[in-house]
Amino acid sequence: MSKMNDILLSSAEKQTLTEKIENKMKSNGYDALLVFGSSNITYLSGGIVFPYLDQKVVQPVALYICYKTGKRIIVCTNDLADIPKQLNWNGEVVIYNLNEQTPEASIAEVLKNYISSKVAIDENYMTAAQIKALKKSISGLVTVSGDQVFDDLKLLKTDAEIRLLEIACRMGDRGFISALNHSEGAALDALSYPLWEYAERFRVHVGEYGGSCVGNMVVVQGKDCKELYARCEPRAVLNETGFVRLEYSLHNSGYWITGSRTVYLGQTNEQAERAWKNNQTLKNIALKNLRTGVKSSEVYNAVKRSSEELNIPFWEGIDLGHGVGTREREAPFLAHYDDTLITEGMVIVLGVYTYGNDKELICNKDVYVVTNDVPRLLNWYKNWDDLYILYGTSARHG
């Protein structure tokens, strides 16, 4: 099998990751953990993914691990119980029924049979209602926040995690290219091409190339391109010459990346080309400064200085990038406020929002793994240094 089709963590890779986690937890004095956040469940379990947990389309799931006893339990409702088995979970699965007034109380009533000692919990995810239910069910429950340790662990990826993220990048780029290929046959002809279909073609092709799920999916053109997001009207079509931007996120087996790709609809012009070149200039300055031992804020500050020197304004409403992993947005943040040291093994999505001639926000994000040399590009599938022209008038070919 091609390594790019090997989309799951192997047993050995899971072992490496879970040992790393266990060592860190023990060194911080934590004997047990109990988490409810989807990102933490996937990370701390070594790759178990549940559907739509953040959006609450399914009932809550808990992961409990006790390093003293070796107990590893996933607690979920009956409909989800087959998922851990499908993903080769090596712990127990305990089913809870909705026997109490709320799902939170129902899961707490089951967890009380397993939790006795102090546990590290994810206070950034676990709801106040959930902890209230747990404290009611488990007398003497002692909890401490494990969030900082979980976040610290996630900062540096194992080789296997980097591999999964690299595969996600390839899925994303292939999905995006497919969206372009579908739309450029009809973008400018009388048939036109729906804006939703441009985004949807991205989504379905990510699936066809092996992706697990697409998250964010915003497509903007014309004056809407001046904003980060805008609503896609159901009947809108690609019909405004100028920049078109797609914001997206997707995951491969629980490992998320985010992206932003801008193309130009119709015949380009000198101003558009210059705007694109300016964008690349600032992005390359950020990339040049993305080196081990440098503070995250210094990457941002270097871009800001260059922006002033070169008179290339950029949108300062958001960071220039952030980590990715089992969440689509995690530390470090390439922003003025984050002094985290850039370190080998971090995986960071990088992109600068600069302006087109009509103040459109243009951006081209790529994902890099930090090495002790230059960062290694994980979005290597296609080079996006040149402005991509979306242009086509042929009859629709399917």
Partner 1 sequence: MNNLEQEITKKITTIIDVNHLDVLIISDIYNIQYATNIKIPCAHAQSDLRMFALLKKNNNPIVVVPKCWENFVKESNHNVDVFAYSLQHDQLASAIKMVFKKCSSAKRFGSDDELISIKISEMIKKEIAALGSEHIACADDIMGARSTKTKTEIKHLKSIAMKTDHAINGYYHHLIADRSKSSMSISENLRIHSLERDIYLEGYNACSRGVIGNSISNIWSYAPKFGFAASDFTEIGDTIIADAMNNENGYWSNSTRIAIMSEEMSDEQEIAYRHLVELRKILCNSLRVGLRCCEVYQDVVEKATNLGIEIIDGHALGFNVGVSPMEGPFLSLGDQTILKKNMILILDGLVKYKSLFYRSRDTVLLDIDEVKVINDYKSWEEPYFALNTI
| Residues 118-177 close enough to bind partner 1 by CB under 8 A | 121, 123-129, 131-132, 145, 147
Q: Is residue 183 close enough to count as binding partner 1 by CB under 8 A?
A: no
Least separation in angstroms between residue 281's CB and partner 1 is 22
CB 351 within 8 A of CB 69: no
Q: Which of 203, 245, 261, 283 binds partner 1 (CB under 8 A)?
A: 203
Q: Is residue 54 close enough to count as binding partner 1 by CB under 8 A?
A: yes
Q: Is residue 5 close enough to count as binding partner 1 by CB under 8 A?
A: no
Q: Is residue 196 close enough to count as binding partner 1 by CB under 8 A?
A: yes
Say which residues have a Cβ less than 8 Å from residue 335's Cβ, sequence separation at least 6: 296, 297, 300, 319, 320
Report the run of H or E that residue 143 belongs to, with start and end: strand 143-145
Phi, psi of 331 (to 5 degrees): -65, 155
| Interface with partner 1 in residues 304-323 (CB under 8 A) | 317-319
Least separation in angstroms between residue 134's CB and partner 1 is 11
Q: How far apart are CA 252 and CA 25, in angstroms?
A: 26
Report the run of H or E that residue 280 belongs to, with start and end: helix 270-289
Q: Is residue 103 close enough to count as binding partner 1 by CB under 8 A?
A: yes
Q: Is residue 235 close enough to count as binding partner 1 by CB under 8 A?
A: yes
Among the residue ranges 16-24, 229-237, 263-271, 280-288, the one whose residues contact partner 1 (CB under 8 A): 229-237
Select 52 or 380, whichever has its Cβ closest to partner 1: 52
Least separation in angstroms between residue 389's CB and partner 1 is 24
Q: How far apart are CA 279 and CA 198, in angstroms?
A: 23
| Interface with partner 1 in residues 240-259 (CB under 8 A) | 248-249, 253-254, 256
Least separation in angstroms between residue 23's CB and partner 1 is 26
Q: Is residue 49 close enough to count as binding partner 1 by CB under 8 A?
A: yes
Q: How far apart are CA 306 and CA 310, in angstroms?
A: 6
| Interface with partner 1 in residues 56-85 (CB under 8 A) | 56-59, 77-80, 82-83
Interaction pattern, residues 337-366, with partner 1; x per rule: CB under 8 A: xx----------------------------
CB 341 within 8 A of CB 294: yes
Q: Which of 4, 155, 217, 377 binds partner 1 (CB under 8 A)?
A: 217
Select 196 or 391, whichever has its Cβ closest to partner 1: 196
Q: Is residue 100 close enough to count as binding partner 1 by CB under 8 A?
A: yes
Residue 87: which of 14, 160, 37, 172 has the closest Cα?
14
CB 221 within 8 A of CB 192: no
Least separation in angstroms between residue 247's CB and partner 1 is 8
Phi, psi of 209 (to 5 degrees): -90, 10
Least separation in angstroms between residue 266's CB and partner 1 is 23
CB 67 within 8 A of CB 25: yes
CB 215 within 8 A of CB 249: yes
Among the residue ranges 19-27, 273-281, 325-333, 380-388, the one whose residues contact partner 1 (CB under 8 A): 325-333
Residue 180: which of 158, 162, 197, 155 has the closest Cα?
197
Select 184 or 319, whichever has its Cβ closest to partner 1: 319
CB 91 within 8 A of CB 75: no
Q: How far apart are CA 272 and CA 242, in angstroms?
A: 8
| Interface with partner 1 in residues 271-290 (CB under 8 A) | none
Q: How far apart are CA 331 and CA 340, in angstroms?
A: 8
Q: Which of 199, 238, 246, 363 binds partner 1 (CB under 8 A)?
A: 199
